[in-house]
């Protein structure tokens, strides 16, 4: 695939597997291709060179054996940019959860400082898009950082829509590397869904207070969803949930497999002193509206809608320490992203006032 450079500065020509970067008449070839498991140590080295040991999105990236295992199992597929000298200077990945191969996640975009400003991320994204098509995913979820517009623009160019925002999601050390200036503030990430194929039509049981924003999200994503107002049906029995603690992010996450009458007690007894807590509720569960309102009394507000994320769609709620709720200023270039930011922040503020 050739790209004409007539009438513009030829910073980067994308042609099949190769990129040619032009600088004053000299050229440097950069190969774009899949990361092999035996080269996992080179990805770990790139992450450490760019982010130090602060890459909170996937701390396992610093363990070459873990990276290699995920590549061999097919759970992770990475594309890298390799300079002529053999050094990896760029990376992007897609992955799926073991229990759900309908959708994938994409991201982990890492570009070496000397390779930035030449649309390398675009070339990596083209390869990722091709692999998503080959694998037949229904959709893709990604989490662009709000301090950089690059991955947000790329996701929008691929048809992605904003479905939420995770406030103060990344620690200050990671924020420092992204912003390239020292800071003590945490930063947020957008949640985006990129529809790739027609998804099944579904009924969802959503909290009435969030039904309007959810209708907008589903409409923009072209998803056939009927939001059912089931009221607040109290559950019986015990809650079934899975918890996960991430030390780097000071994040405790909960996946609620079944809402029980004790859901608030179960969750409040486990998040301890973590800065951020996030809860995933199934939107095919008629008890989710009841749980959403009860958890609101515990300080949990709207975070995101995650289409096709479990047996169906998921509603994510979030709670964060008051001192962390005003993160680093965001850089949003699309009106829909700004609307989502304002909705999420207003809901968090409303929960804070009600407590």
- In this structure, the number of other CB atoms found within 10 A of the CB of residue 255 comes to 18
Whether residue 28 has pLDDT greater than 60 = no
Q: Where are the domains of the chain?
A: 1-137, 202-354
Strand partners, 93: 78, 107
pLDDT for residue 11: 36
Q: Which CATH number fits domain 1-137: 3.40.190.10, 3.40.720.10, 3.40.630.30, 3.20.20.70?
A: 3.40.630.30
The most confident of the ranges 123-127, 173-177, 206-210 is 206-210
Report the sign of the C-alpha dihedral through residues 31, 129, 152, 37, in that order: negative
pLDDT for residue 329: 59
Mean of the per-residue pLDDT values of the chain:
85
Q: What is the pTM of this model?
A: 0.87
- Per-residue confidence band for 160, with pLDDT thresholds at 50, 70 and 90: very high
Lowest mean pLDDT among 52-61, 179-188, 206-215: 179-188
Contact 163, 220 (CB under 8 A): no
- At residue 286, the 3 state secondary structure works out as coil
Whether residue 15 has pLDDT greater than 70 = no
DSSP secondary structure letters along 238-278? --EEEEEEETTTTEEEEEEEE--TTHHHHHHTT-TT-SEEE
**What residues contact residue 179 under an 8 Å CB cut-off, 6+ apart?**
147, 187, 328
């Amino acid at each position: 695939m050739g790209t004409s450079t007539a009438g513009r500065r030829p910073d980067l020509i994308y042609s099949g597997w190769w990129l040619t970067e032009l600088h004053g008449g000299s050229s440097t070839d950069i190969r774009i291709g899949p990361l092999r498991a035996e080269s996992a140590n080179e990805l770990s080295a790139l992450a450490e060179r760019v982010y130090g040991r602060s890459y909170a999105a996937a701390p396992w990236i610093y363990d070459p054996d873990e990276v290699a295992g995920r590549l061999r199992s097919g759970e992770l597929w990475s594309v890298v940019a390799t300079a002529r000298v053999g050094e990896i200077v760029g990376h992007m990945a897609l992955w799926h959860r073991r229990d759900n191969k309908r959708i994938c996640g994409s991201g982990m975009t890492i570009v070496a400082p000397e390779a930035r400003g030449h649309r390398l991320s675009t070339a990596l994204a083209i390869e990722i898009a091709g692999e998503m098509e080959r694998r037949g995913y229904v959709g893709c979820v990604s989490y662009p950082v709000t301090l950089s517009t690059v991955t947000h623009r790329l996701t929008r160019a691929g048809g992605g829509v904003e479905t939420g925002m995770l406030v103060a999601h990344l620690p200050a050390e990671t924020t420092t590397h992204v912003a390239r200036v020292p800071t003590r503030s945490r930063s947020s990430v957008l949640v985006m869904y990129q529809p790739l194929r027609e998804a099944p039509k579904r009924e969802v049981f959503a909290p009435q207070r969030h039904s309007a924003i959810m209708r907008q999200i589903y409409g923009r994503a072209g998803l056939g969803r009927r939001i059912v107002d089931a009221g607040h049906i109290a559950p019986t029995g015990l809650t079934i949930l899975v918890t996960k603690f991430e030390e780097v992010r000071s994040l405790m996450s909960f996946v609620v497999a079944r809402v029980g009458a004790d859901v608030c007690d179960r969750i409040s007894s486990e998040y301890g002193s973590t800065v951020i807590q996030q809860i995933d509720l199934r939107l095919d569960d008629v008890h989710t509206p009841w749980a959403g309102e009860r958890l609101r009394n515990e300080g949990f507000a709207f975070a995101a809608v995650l289409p096709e994320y479990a047996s169906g769609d998921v509603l994510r709620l979030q709670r964060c320490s008051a001192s962390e709720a005003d993160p680093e200023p965001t850089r949003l270039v699309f009106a829909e992203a700004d609307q989502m930011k304002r909705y999420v922040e207003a809901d968090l503020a409303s929960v804070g006032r009600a407590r």
